[in-house]
Chain A
Amino acid sequence: MNIFREIYQSIVRRDPLSTDKGKTELVFLNVWLHIHPAKVKKEHMKFRHTFYLGFISFFLLLILITTGIALMVYYRPYPAAAYQDMKDLQFVIYMGPFLRGMHRWAAHGMVACVFLHMCRVFYTGSYKKPRQFNWVIGVVLLLLTLGMSFTGYLLPWDQLAYWAITVGTNIGSYAPLVGGMLKEVLLGGHSVGEGALIRFYVLHVAVLPLLVVLFTVVHFWRVRKDGGLSRPVWKLKAPKTAPLVQIGGTAEAVPLAVQAASTEKTYGLMEVVTGKPIFETVTPEEDDDAVFSYPYAFVREGITLMATVTTIMSMAIFLRAPLEELANPAKTPNPAKAPWYFLGLQELVSHSALLGGVVAPALMVIALLVVPYIDRNPSRRPRDRKWAIWLFTAFVVVNLVLIVIGTFFRGPGWALVPPWVHVTGGAE
């Protein structure tokens, strides 16, 4: 029996989990877990602080990678084969519709969750110092997520795919100076064809996932290095005027400002390793709130993972991913619509390609990128930042309204048709 013990101990080099030392070592001797601190604060794990949206986005990414690899086994990225392979996946291949469905719904879900996660970070003011740069990395992740869904959209090579990408890449060609070249490089030709399909495939299965994973790693690392998660807004106290200490006590003595120990930081073993004397800065009250990550955080993350996977699986069972007719360059479906998260953009584009398709989105992205640097208000409490909250809400509402119009109110010929009016076929 000793040999088994030896094998086990060669793999798991920590004390038993019943001990505090074991719980600590579980986290920091394990390559997968050591991104966590050994101890977390309970307040950080509160559902109503983060809604776990960042975690859910990450778990959806994991689902997308696994199901995506499974789909790659059958999918051949050239026009003569691609659509046929989608049909096979839909009707012939064992579990094909299930895998396709999971991939499709996880992709939609990820776009939604990443966006909602961004909203949560904004409304809790969590992008403020020292977390400014992690917000910027987040915006890059949002763009990469949209890029992943855009490139994936072409791959089924059906009518929906073909025309959404035709319209999408033509929007790019309106970009000043580089537009024409951009389109040619992206499509490997002048219109959507086999060159475009293989290029989108390479972006979708290699380039963009690699970038998303790299940026996600940096994103997580920054969460730790920026001092762990921000405090929930309901824990924030009204800013006190700095306490003054007088030395000497005479009326003319210069008052010395004393900086209170940071209450914003969680301290983990990382900091112990670098040798900073940090535990002195944790007040007893805060120490009470800190618990070992095992099992407190891991159980919560595990439940979130299971809930995410179960939801996507049930959706894949009950809702079939759509597949239209084979791509037909001669016949544009009427109306031809982009995926829902791009319908706001398409709505703008229907008014002006340059302003709506290039200028407005570019301004939106720039505005998002600079948010943490132009919002100079140090307070994170909602009542101190009414302006910021109003502005951001306006941004969200405008986007949602445009998407709703594009999705439900646009009929054949992109004419305004309310959803309760039934239109049969396009004119002629």
Chain B
Amino acid sequence: MDRRTFFKAGWGAFGLAALVSGVGVSLVAVGRYLMPSVFYEPPQAFKIGTPGDFAFGAPSFLVDQKIYVFRDRDKGFAVASAVCTHLGCTVAHFQSDQKFHCPCHGSIFGADGGVQHGPAPRALDWYEVTLARDGQLRVDKNKVVPPTYRLMV
């Protein structure tokens, strides 16, 4: 290889590398740009009111947070997610059979949230609920707890 072809090949390789890395970096940047940096969504941990706001027996459904709040006389508070683990429809809790029914593809979850029927791949989530200093109940959706978890008040 003489000097000339050597330099030609060198410049060619350099150009190609520049092109490839330029395109690559741009693609990564576009991908990163499309990933939101801020989410203007409701917070994952929130207060839902004082224990006295909740009746015994049938669970209360909180619309904005998509959770069911259970209050049992001996066992205390528990909070279940109302979002079906299959494809995200909102499940309905039936008093008649104490189960959660999903309208979209017919999944049924038992009283403990476990899958009993249908395509849902895993049980409904239960979230940690604690008593905040101001006497309100505080739910944290980032903290998934076992279905046996209860807050005694």
Q: What separation, in Å, do the CA atoms of A163 and B90 have in the docked complex? A: 10
- Surface stretch bound by B, among A147-155, A188-196, A278-286, A307-315: A188-196
Partner of A335, one of B34, B41, B103: B103
Nearest-CB residue, chain B, relative to A185: B34
Interface centre among B96, B102, B105 (most CB of A within 10 A): B105
Partner of A414, one of B35, B63, B94, B104: B104
Q: What separation, in Å, do the CA atoms of A354 and B94 have in the docked complex? A: 28
* CB contact under 8 A between A194 and B40, given known A350-B106, A414-B105, A428-B92: yes
Chain B, 69-123, CB within 8 A of any chain A CB:
86-90, 92, 94, 96, 101-106, 118-119, 121
**Cβ-based interface call for B66 (8 A):** yes
Classify chain B: how many residues form its interface, as a range: 20 to 34
- Surface stretch bound by B, among A81-89, A165-173, A362-370: A165-173
Q: Which residues from A are CB-within-8-Å of B88? A: 166-167, 170, 191
A190–B41 CB distance below 8 A: yes
**Cβ-based interface call for B39 (8 A):** yes
Q: Which residues from A are CB-within-8-Å of B102? A: 332, 413
**Cβ-based interface call for B64 (8 A):** yes
Number of interface residues of A (CB under 8 A): 38
Partner of A330, one of B35, B63, B87, B118: B63
**Cβ-based interface call for A352 (8 A):** yes
Q: Annotate B7-35 by CB proximity to A: 1 below 8 A, 0 otherwise.
A: 00000000000000000000000010011
**Cβ-based interface call for A349 (8 A):** yes
B119–A167 CB distance below 8 A: no
Q: What separation, in Å, do the CA atoms of A188 and B90 have in the docked complex? A: 21
- Shortest beta-carbon distance, A168 to chain B, in Å? 8
Q: What separation, in Å, do the CA atoms of A188 and B33 have in the docked complex? A: 11
**Cβ-based interface call for B52 (8 A):** no
Q: Which residues from A are CB-within-8-Å of B64? A: 330
**Cβ-based interface call for A181 (8 A):** yes
Q: Which residues from B are CB-within-8-Å of A330? A: 61, 63-64, 66, 90
- Shortest beta-carbon distance, A79 to chain B, in Å? 12
Q: Annotate A176-210 by CB proximity to B: 1 below 8 A, 0 otherwise.
A: 00000100110011110111000000000000000
Chain A, 384-415, CB within 8 A of any chain B CB:
412-415
Partner of A333, one of B86, B103, B119: B103
**Cβ-based interface call for A427 (8 A):** yes
**Cβ-based interface call for B43 (8 A):** no
Q: Annotate B26-65 by CB proximity to A: 1 below 8 A, 0 otherwise.
A: 0000010011100111000000000000000000010110
* CB contact under 8 A between A350 and B89, given known A185-B34, A332-B104, A426-B103: no
Q: Which residues from A are CB-within-8-Å of B89? A: 163, 166-167, 332, 336
**Cβ-based interface call for A114 (8 A):** no
Partner of A428, one of B35, B61, B94, B104: B94
B103–A334 CB distance below 8 A: yes
**Cβ-based interface call for A237 (8 A):** no
Q: Which residues from A are CB-within-8-Å of B66? A: 329-330
Nearest-CB residue, chain A, relative to B62: A330
Q: Which residues from A are CB-within-8-Å of B40? A: 189, 194-195
Q: Which residues from B are CB-within-8-Å of A427? A: 94, 101
- Shortest beta-carbon distance, B69 to chain A, in Å? 14
Q: Which residues from B are CB-within-8-Å of A193? A: 41
B36–A189 CB distance below 8 A: yes
**Cβ-based interface call for A160 (8 A):** no
Q: Which residues from A are CB-within-8-Å of B31? A: 185
Q: Which residues from B are CB-within-8-Å of A413? A: 101-103, 106
- Shortest beta-carbon distance, A306 to chain B, in Å? 42
Q: Which residues from B are CB-within-8-Å of A334? A: 103
Q: What separation, in Å, do the CA atoms of A250 and B118 have in the docked complex? A: 79
Q: Which residues from A are CB-within-8-Å of B87? A: 166-167, 170-171, 349, 353, 357
* CB contact under 8 A between A349 and B90, given known A181-B35, A330-B63, A427-B101: no
Q: What separation, in Å, do the CA atoms of A412 and B102 have in the docked complex? A: 10
- Shortest beta-carbon distance, B67 to chain A, in Å? 11
- Shortest beta-carbon distance, B1 to chain A, in Å? 38
Q: What separation, in Å, do the CA atoms of A349 and B94 have in the docked complex? A: 24
Q: What separation, in Å, do the CA atoms of A415 and B40 have in the docked complex? A: 37
Partner of B119, one of A185, A350, A428: A350
Nearest-CB residue, chain B, relative to A413: B106
Q: Which residues from A are CB-within-8-Å of B35? A: 181, 184-185
Q: What separation, in Å, do the CA atoms of A191 and B44 have in the docked complex? A: 13
Q: What separation, in Å, do the CA atoms of A329 and B64 have in the docked complex? A: 8
Q: Which residues from A are CB-within-8-Å of B94? A: 427-428
Known: A189-B39, A334-B103, A353-B121. 16 other contacts (CB 8 A): A166-B87, A167-B87, A181-B35, A185-B31, A195-B39, A195-B40, A330-B90, A332-B90, A335-B104, A336-B104, A349-B87, A350-B119, A352-B119, A414-B118, A427-B101, A428-B92
Which A residues are closer than 8 A to B by beta carbons?
163, 166-167, 170-171, 181, 184-185, 188-191, 193-195, 329-336, 346, 349-354, 357, 412-415, 426-428
Can you list 15 residue pairs at the A/B interface with Cβ under 8 Å? A166-B88, A170-B86, A189-B36, A189-B40, A193-B41, A334-B103, A336-B89, A336-B104, A350-B106, A350-B119, A351-B119, A412-B103, A414-B103, A428-B94, A428-B96
Closest 5 CB pairs of A and B: A334-B103, A350-B105, A414-B106, A330-B63, A170-B87
